[in-house]
Amino acid sequence: MPDKPTTGGFEKTTGWLDWYDGPSRPAFRLPQGAVDAHCHVFGPGDEFPYAPERKYTPCDASKRQLFALRDHLGFARNVIVQATCHGADNRAMVDACLASGGKARGVATVKRSVTDQELRRLHAAGVRGVRFNFVKRLVDFTPQDELLEVAGRVAALGWHVVVYFEAADLPELWSFFGALPTTVVVDHMGRPDVTRPVDGPEFALFLKFMREHPAVWCKVTCPERLSDAGPPALRGERHAYRDVVPFARRIVDEFPDRVLWGTDWPHPNLRGHMPDDGLLVDFIPHIAPGAGAQRKLLVTNPMRLYWPEECEA
């Protein structure tokens, strides 16, 4: 079969920049049991409507398309993260987790008003974390006392908190993150400005943050969002997003037991270009050279966080 299609020919509806159809087959062979620990499902909108308060409208990206991509790239499992365009309505994510046959776990968005019964229902569906989003272009403000209360309730279920913020906002969020009573997972390396030096003060602050907080983990994800250099200029060159490599590699080298990786498919809210997910997988050996680091990044670490019952004590 040629490299495409991977999506089974399902109809796509556009409303935003469409995700990349027919991703290439990665040259890098993922280790057995690899987890795509950051991806989304969107809608379909007529079944799972988008939130009225959303800041963007994505193209539909269904669970079947996600599972087809998983198999095409060579992943065994997914962690499906609730995106802001679905607000605190977790139905599409939960539906995908339930349909995955145990191959997907989820990260939800919940409000202070969420009931204990609903939290238990989410847990039974496979949810193991909540996401707090501080990116101002994506969400309206939520008071920190409300977030702390939610964090306390989900920590009791053994869940963690995923946080998404811009690097410039780390200083003001530092003490709040430090006060969270459970594991904290930072999305996309805290969005460093990769045009600045990897040894510069901004990224040094992020490394210090991880050093001083052993419960903080990091997703070394989204080179396509962070890169200034962009995808490969030359056709056939598979080493994309070179300017992001030193940042991700620094984190993987120093914190090999606290890193996760994911595709971010279907790459919501992205301008400029849509990444080839096969090329994104080929980014991995550049940031995690060596089978040991790759195994931790792609298998051991996400399994510890999302399928701990399958890990040996």
Contacts with ligand 0GY by CB under 6 A lie at: 83-85, 138, 164, 187, 225, 264, 268-269
Least distance from ligand 0GY to the Cβ atom of residue 269, Å:
4
- Judged by beta carbon, residue 123 or residue 225, the one nearer ligand 0GY is 225
Least distance CB 116 / ligand 0GY (angstroms): 25
Nearer Cβ to ligand 0GY (83/281)? 83
3-class DSSP assignment, residue 16: coil
Q: How far is the CB of 164 from ligand 0GY (least distance, A)?
A: 6
Strands 184-186 and 35-39: unpaired
Q: Which is nearer to ligand 0GY, 4 or 138 (CB)?
A: 138
CA distance 92 to 103: 16
3-state secondary structure at position 174:
helix
Give, to the nearest 10 degrees, the angle between helix 170-179 and helix 144-155.
40
- Comparing CB distances to ligand 0GY, the nearer of 201 and 219 is 219
Please provide the DSSP assignment of 67-135 as one string.
Answer: HHHHHHHT-SEEEEEPPGGGTT--HHHHHHHHHTTTSEEEEE---TT--HHHHHHHHHHTEEEEEEE--
187 or 277, CB closer to ligand 0GY?
A: 187
Count CA atoms within 13 Å of residue 285 on its CB side.
13
Query: For residue 309, what are the contacts with CB-CB under 8 A and spacing of at least 6?
Result: none
C-beta closer to ligand 0GY: residue 9 or 159: 159
Clarify whether 21 is annotated catalytic: no
d(CA 65, CA 14): 15
Task: Tell the burial category of 288 from Cβ atoms under 10 Å away from its Cβ (0-12, 13-18, 19+).
Answer: buried
Minimum CB separation of residue 280 from ligand 0GY in Å reads 13
- Which residue number, 15 or 33, has a Cβ lying nearer to ligand 0GY? 15
| Residue type at 68 in one-letter notation | A
Residue 188 CB, nearest approach to ligand 0GY (Å): 6
Instruction: Classify each residue of 116-125 as buried b or exposed e, where b means 16 or more C-beta atoms within 10 Å of its C-beta.
Output: eeebeebbeb
Distance CA 102, CA 125 (A): 9
Catalytic residue among 36, 60, 187, 264: 264
- Smallest distance, ligand 0GY to C-beta of residue 83, A: 3
Q: Which of 195, 200, 263 is nearest to 228 (CA)?
A: 195
Q: Shortest gap between Cβ of 162 and ligand 0GY (angstroms)?
A: 10
Say if CB 224 and CB 231 are below 8 A apart: yes
Q: Which residues are catalytic?
A: 264
